[in-house]
Structure 1
Amino acid sequence: MKTCLLPALLLIVPTAAWAQTTPGDAPAIIVTGRGLPLPPGTPAYGSVVIGRDRLMHSASGRIETVLGDVAGFQQFRRSDSRSANPSAQGVTLRALGGNASSRTLMLLDGVPLADPFFGYIPFGALAPERLSVVRVTRGGGSGAFGSGAVAGTIELASATRDELPDMALSALYGSRDASELSATITPDLGGGHVSLSGRWDRGDGFYTTPRDQRVAASAPAAYDGWSTNIRAVAPISATSELQFRATLFEDHRTLRFQGADSMSEGQDASIRYVARGPWQVDALAYIQARNFSNIVISSSSFRKTLDQRNTPSTGLGGKIELRPPVGPDHVLRVGADTRLATGDMYEDAYNANVASNPRTFLRHAGGEQWTSGLFIEDDWTLGRLVLTGGARVDRWTIRNGFYRQVNATTGAASGESYADRSGWETTGRIGALFRASDAVALRAAAYSGFRLPTLNELYRPFVVFPITTRANAALNPEKLKGVEAGVDLTPMKGVTLSATAFYNRLDGAIANVTLADVPNTRKRQNVDRIVAKGVELTAAAQMGDFSLSASYAYSHSSVHAPGQAFDAFAPAQSPRHAASGTVAWAPRGGPSLSTTLRYVAKQYEDDLQSDVLPDALTLDAVARLPLAQGVSLVARGENLFDERVITRNAGGSIDLGTPRTLWIGVSWRH
């Protein structure tokens, strides 16, 4: 697949060559590299914005850590992308629970980032230095950005030309022989620009297994990954431009035991046309080619028990949005989007109880899904009041699903082909924003959304000792309904406060349900519903050289499952309290220092609340000292208290999160 991107990459040069400024009285050409501006009703749904400066100055240098600034953001487990199995990197918001697939729609320049088969986010491919801003909307349902946002939306935007230096280099060395190298070059070309960047991260890793549970086969969580990204922006006219992006990445990790290696890789490309004239247009097309492999080692014999040797998947999609000129008081958006996801799983099972470790079964599963939607939204400005509302209708199809198993000894085959299914989903959202004064804004919103089960949830069983989790090809879509109300305050210049109260109901929530009649076994099932209600608070202040940002989320979520043992319990992996605060000192042109304190309350590993993950409080810090023109000394520290963060607890079998990690290095910008 890597070679398939070469023709697209070669298009960059001729495309950018069109971007020649015209002589005479032709309108000035301005290239932004962004999408269309946000509609005026966007704040009605409430959101948290993370700026480029914060993205560039985190202790870990990784995007998932920065997203932790938004209380309520969580991955399936508390591990970051250096010490987690990639397939467990699903993201969610508002304590709606999860089973490693993302309940939050995550976009980069409008392109969905989730793996087409698993639904996880490839965080290792998202270098913060390539980004301009991140907008996190907790809740909000399905809108013009597509289906899948049952717990919210995280929108990432690529850095613009004025934010990118001509050249930048960074090199850091950290604890446990870790290194992080990155480079970016951004030349102007015609009236546009091209930005090429690369990043390489590696480290010997730490022992995720507690000392008293280690054995001779225990191994630290080593990681080695790289990504490269090219983005070109070229003007077509004074009001329109073409944007192209391609990303290649590869990520290798080892978890718990020697030989328990995983690999994920991807090759993504997208092209986007943006027109800002009287008729505004945002048209997008993309392709994703992903793969994943994983070896599971027995925790008793320490031999190979499963080789998930190949999981190729493909995502294809596109979107077009039109904004016709309907007058200064309205922003009307109409459009369509579509996404096709296909994938296969090839894995071999082994008998780990025999010294020869023979192969026992060969398995193959897969299928495809297609969603296509039409949407319409309008934002109506009436003085200090902005009303926003919209609706969309989606047609979904799940087809060609199958599971095959062949006995490696006898050759006997078994399996099943699953019936194709399809349906329609109608969703919508409405909101109101009233600016009572320059200091006070009131907002309220109601919304609905849905999410299809991933191919992984439908067709792929898996084992994380001592628990076996079965797939379920009969899973139905999850459907969300929610309401919220909030207030935004600006009591003085540079100070903002925000509070939101919410109620979300997720019907048909997909959960890993413990089977009472089969020991150590769970099965993915639709439960009646999960109800999450709570309060979210945010604050930010800029006072001279000092800045403060803080976030707190209280989420009281419970499962409604009449007749089940877990009825009225909290969903798995859902803390009730989460908080984050960052204090920074950054005088212009001088040294800078920032510290971030994060707290996550206890949560449960499983649906029966039998395995507890205790609360955790961590402190990070980043210091930067300018040495010469464009050159800075950088020091970073993660988990400075060396807090014991438990990320997995399966019947007492425990995994740990990142311990104290220190970094030192230099950066250069020209």
Structure 2
Amino acid sequence: MLQVPPPPQLSEVVVTGARLPPAAGEAAFSVIRLDEADLAPQQRLDEALATVPAVSLFRRTSSLSANPTTQGISLRAIAPSGAGRTLVTLDGVPVNDPFGGWVIWSQVPTESLSGLDLIHGSGAGPYGAGALTGVIQLRERDMGAVLDASVAERGGARLAAAAGTDAGPVRLVGTALYETSDGYVPVRGPEAGAADTPLDLEFLSAAVRADIPVAAAVVSLRASAFEEDRGSGLAGARATASGNSLSATAALAPTPERLGWRLQAWRRESDLANSSVAVAPDRSSTTPANDQYATPATGWGLNAALRRTAVSGVGRVEWELGADARFNEGETQELFRYLGGAFTRGRIAGGETSVAGVYVEGAWDDSGPWLVAGGLRWDAWENANGRRLETDLATGLPTLDETDPERSGEVVSARLAVRRELGSGQALRAAAYTGFRPATLNELHRPFRVGNDLTEANAALEPERLTGVEAGWSWTGDRASLTATVFWTEIEDAIVNVTIGEGPGVFPRAGFVPAGGVLRQRQNAGTIEATGLELDARWDASDVLSLRAALSATDARVDGGSDAPQLTGLRPAQAPIWSATAGLDWRPIDRLTLSADLRWESRRFDDDLNSRVLEAAATADLRAEWALSPNATLWAAADNVFDEEVEVSETATGVAGFGPPRTLGVGVRLSR
């Protein structure tokens, strides 16, 4: 993992897949790069990202045990959410779900990637809507092959493979993953009852890409699909998710003698089934509460860019002009109001969202100490055809029939950054930016239930808007590096789940809230302001020992204004102030590598009122690798080696759910 330096002065950039090279201006912003070696020890992409403290998964658990709807990601612990506040792309194609904005992480195995870039700060310019706290750019591998097979405690097994090869002038890249686990029970000790069941999992994904040379350009055609089935930790509650995507990309890398360009079209389909239950006070049993048996959604989009790089007496100048458009449509189909041993009501709710924009980006490098970059963007967004229909299953008559008014607007966003090399390996940089994130179809239209807690949708949600500034210093030596960043960020019209009532009680739209539960609604609840500090240090102490450490401190506070005054002064849910990581890699002999990783996080809250406290947590992971040959490695790992109880959730009655216990696994990795 490294802080990205200014790009080298190359007369020609050669790309294998149909992608443009990294923009010259990226080095002026806060960019952290994870390469293939950083990703290799991690079996899940979200776990690899979690090694960076500034990355905030919605909950402390990983995609090994997280419900699909909680797999949202944000950069910096400003205000994590299930929808996520970060745009994730794979070679330019959004990976975020078209209905909910979350990311099904296992659809992109770590073995399939050559690396990724985490760009902090709001993503105006080429990234656009959704990149509220930044963007994660994934790069699919082009060549080589890797096979990783492993088994772990509690029925865990995983087989992943990725390879690239040439078939005449065409390059083919393929990826496949199968993973299964019997899971663990999240509620432990005397509080657990017969209602508590394991978070089991079965997942399958595959992808294939063809890179076809056309004159000096490259055309990439890609198809992928995934399917997962998982337990939700309660008897009778399960979740399944599936999806597929198609994309076509054509690109020509720019040179000082020619214009570069990219043209891309993509389509993504997804579906989610998610059943929920009400839990008896003594946790001895559950009762069906809601059956979201289908959530079909489709997203599609286009983007195009022109890029020019010129070198003259004043230095290197690069500019990019582009446009993009994204469209999403989907609905939730569900059964609810369980009475007399059967569901009595049905619901169909959904709509369409769209956003389209144009942008200009530019960067100037004086071939000396200065790099200046910036961009300006205009977007138009619209929410349309929103409807919520609820019917009595016995009579077929509607009990609620609402048509939501269309909403639309325009947003102008911008960013500007400057970097100066100071010599002796030191550099300073500063940046300012704005951005926005429209509400997802899930937030606009889908109510949901977790245990006895209900959350209502809100079709009147406005886009979130972010303003931020930051400054950073970095030093790179022969064997060590150190970076420091301070930032201030403000999110206006932040979309949060606001508590509006406590059970037991009957609420006309949401239905009955049982004892020990609360009713929440997604709302634009005022403003979230955050101030933070990020530190990252690396030291290659010798040829056989390397050390790393990182720290993130983010003080985020809510100002609920007149709409949610009860939230003013509180911290956003799931937003810790402190998080830190440390690790080492030691190679005592040529064939043996030992690694240790520590992660600590201060307490966070599971709710908007800060009444459900998730205590501070620390975990340690160990890994040993033995090189059987230059192309084969045998490995063993112990995750959460001290078997710490890490709180990841808490009910209104104080029952805590925990992350995975100590897990031992062994595997073999083959590569070429």
The TM-score, its normalising length taken from structure 2, stands at 0.91
Task: Tell me the equivalent position of 2:131.
Answer: 149
Instruction: For 2:628, give the aligned amino acid.
Output: L
Alignment of 1:247-262 (within 5 A): 247-262=224-239
In structure 2, the CA distance between the partners of 1:66 and 1:362, relative to structure 1 (3 Å rule), is: same
Alignment partners' CA distance in 2, 1:148 and 1:128: 23
Asked if the contact 1:31–1:233 (Cα under 8 Å) also holds between the matched residues in 2, the reply is no
Is 2:253 the partner of 1:276? yes
Is 2:550 the partner of 1:548? no
Deviation, 1:178, is 0.8
Partner secondary structure for residue 258 of structure 1 = coil
Alignment partners' CA distance in 2, 1:269 and 1:70: 30
Which runs of 5 or more structure 1 residues have no equivalent in the other structure?
A: 1-27
Task: Tell me the equivalent position of 1:201.
Answer: 179
Deviation, 1:287, is 0.7
Instruction: For 2:275, give the aligned amino acid.
Output: I
Alignment partners' CA distance in 1, 2:362 and 2:552: 30
Alignment of 1:84-483 (within 5 A): 84-161=66-143, 164-165=144-145, 168-237=146-215, 239-277=216-254, 278-300=258-280, 301-328=285-312, 329-351=316-338, 354=340, 357-382=341-366, 383-413=368-398, 414-483=400-469
Alignment partners' CA distance in 1, 2:414 and 2:555: 25
Which stretch shifts more, 208-217 or 515-524? 515-524
1:279-300 CA distance string (max 9 Å, x none): 1112211110100001112212
Instruction: For 1:240, give the aligned amino acid.
Output: A
Alignment partners' CA distance in 1, 2:656 and 2:502: 25
Instruction: For 1:113, give the aligned amino acid.
Output: V
Deviation, 1:187, is 2.6
Asked if the contact 1:198–1:227 (Cα under 8 Å) also holds between the matched residues in 2, the reply is yes
Alignment partners' CA distance in 2, 1:628 and 1:554: 42
Partner secondary structure for residue 565 of structure 1 = helix
Alignment partners' CA distance in 2, 1:248 and 1:262: 17
Asked if the contact 1:183–1:197 (Cα under 8 Å) also holds between the matched residues in 2, the reply is yes
Alignment partners' CA distance in 2, 1:589 and 1:268: 43
Task: Tell me the equivalent position of 1:664.
Answer: 666
Task: Tell me the equivalent position of 1:12.
Answer: none
Identical aligned pairs, as a percentage? 33
Deviation, 1:94, is 2.0
Task: Tell me the equivalent position of 1:619.
Answer: 620
In structure 2, the CA distance between the partners of 1:29 and 1:514, relative to structure 1 (3 Å rule), is: closer
Alignment partners' CA distance in 2, 1:242 and 1:643: 49
Asked if the contact 1:402–1:417 (Cα under 8 Å) also holds between the matched residues in 2, the reply is yes
Instruction: For 1:496, give the aligned amino acid.
Output: S
Asked if the contact 2:73–2:85 (Cα under 8 Å) also holds between the matched residues in 1, the reply is yes
Instruction: For 1:444, give the aligned amino acid.
Output: A
In structure 2, the CA distance between the partners of 1:631 and 1:183, relative to structure 1 (3 Å rule), is: same
Asked if the contact 1:380–1:388 (Cα under 8 Å) also holds between the matched residues in 2, the reply is yes
Task: Tell me the equivalent position of 1:603.
Answer: 604
Instruction: For 1:279, give the aligned amino acid.
Output: L
Instruction: For 1:393, give the aligned amino acid.
Output: W
In structure 2, the CA distance between the partners of 1:436 and 1:551, relative to structure 1 (3 Å rule), is: same
Partner secondary structure for residue 99 of structure 1 = coil
Which stretch shifts more, 498-507 or 102-111? 102-111
In structure 2, the CA distance between the partners of 1:129 and 1:351, relative to structure 1 (3 Å rule), is: same
In structure 2, the CA distance between the partners of 1:589 and 1:128, relative to structure 1 (3 Å rule), is: farther
Deviation, 1:232, is 1.9
Which stretch shifts more, 588-597 or 303-312? 588-597
By percentage of residues, which structure has more strand? 2
Which runs of 5 or more structure 2 residues have no equivalent in the other structure?
A: 1-11, 505-517
Which stretch shifts more, 339-348 or 268-277? 268-277
Is 2:632 the partner of 1:637? no
1:31-80 CA distance string (max 9 Å, x none): 5226222233212211211111110113xx11111101111212211121
Asked if the contact 1:31–1:235 (Cα under 8 Å) also holds between the matched residues in 2, the reply is no
Which stretch shifts more, 555-564 or 394-403? 555-564
Instruction: For 2:240, give the aligned amino acid.
Output: M
Deviation, 1:389, is 1.1
Alignment partners' CA distance in 2, 1:502 and 1:440: 19
Larger relative contact order (CA 8 Å, sep ≥ 6): 1
Instruction: For 1:549, give the aligned amino acid.
Output: R
1:239-292 CA distance string (max 9 Å, x none): 421222221111110012233111001101212112024111122111101000
In structure 2, the CA distance between the partners of 1:504 and 1:395, relative to structure 1 (3 Å rule), is: same
Alignment of 1:45-56 (within 5 A): 45-56=29-40
Alignment partners' CA distance in 2, 1:98 and 1:473: 21
Asked if the contact 1:363–1:406 (Cα under 8 Å) also holds between the matched residues in 2, the reply is yes
Deviation, 1:586, is 4.7
In structure 2, the CA distance between the partners of 1:324 and 1:40, relative to structure 1 (3 Å rule), is: closer
Task: Tell me the equivalent position of 1:14.
Answer: none
Asked if the contact 2:576–2:601 (Cα under 8 Å) also holds between the matched residues in 1, the reply is yes
Partner secondary structure for residue 47 of structure 2 = helix
Asked if the contact 1:142–1:148 (Cα under 8 Å) also holds between the matched residues in 2, the reply is no
Alignment partners' CA distance in 1, 2:48 and 2:310: 39
Alignment partners' CA distance in 1, 2:151 and 2:309: 54
Alignment partners' CA distance in 2, 1:315 and 1:589: 49
Alignment partners' CA distance in 2, 1:458 and 1:588: 57
Task: Tell me the equivalent position of 1:22.
Answer: none
In structure 2, the CA distance between the partners of 1:233 and 1:579, relative to structure 1 (3 Å rule), is: same
Asked if the contact 1:31–1:192 (Cα under 8 Å) also holds between the matched residues in 2, the reply is no
Alignment partners' CA distance in 1, 2:649 and 2:466: 28
Asked if the contact 1:202–1:225 (Cα under 8 Å) also holds between the matched residues in 2, the reply is yes
Asked if the contact 1:361–1:407 (Cα under 8 Å) also holds between the matched residues in 2, the reply is yes
Alignment partners' CA distance in 2, 1:476 and 1:571: 18
Is 2:35 the partner of 1:76? no
Q: 2:536 aligns with which of 516, 538, 542?
A: 538
Alignment partners' CA distance in 2, 1:586 and 1:271: 43
Deviation, 1:220, is 0.8
Asked if the contact 1:124–1:251 (Cα under 8 Å) also holds between the matched residues in 2, the reply is no
Instruction: For 2:272, give the aligned amino acid.
Output: F
Instruction: For 1:344, give the aligned amino acid.
Output: E
In structure 2, the CA distance between the partners of 1:336 and 1:654, relative to structure 1 (3 Å rule), is: same
Instruction: For 2:553, give the aligned amino acid.
Output: Y
Deviation, 1:518, is 7.0
Alignment partners' CA distance in 1, 2:123 and 2:223: 29
Task: Tell me the equivalent position of 1:591.
Answer: 592
In structure 2, the CA distance between the partners of 1:361 and 1:287, relative to structure 1 (3 Å rule), is: same
Which stretch shifts more, 80-89 or 586-595? 586-595
Alignment partners' CA distance in 1, 2:445 and 2:425: 52
Deviation, 1:192, is 3.8
Task: Tell me the equivalent position of 1:9.
Answer: none
Task: Tell me the equivalent position of 1:511.
Answer: 496
Alignment partners' CA distance in 2, 1:639 and 1:151: 29
Deviation, 1:592, is 1.7
Deviation, 1:149, is 1.3
Asked if the contact 1:29–1:235 (Cα under 8 Å) also holds between the matched residues in 2, the reply is no
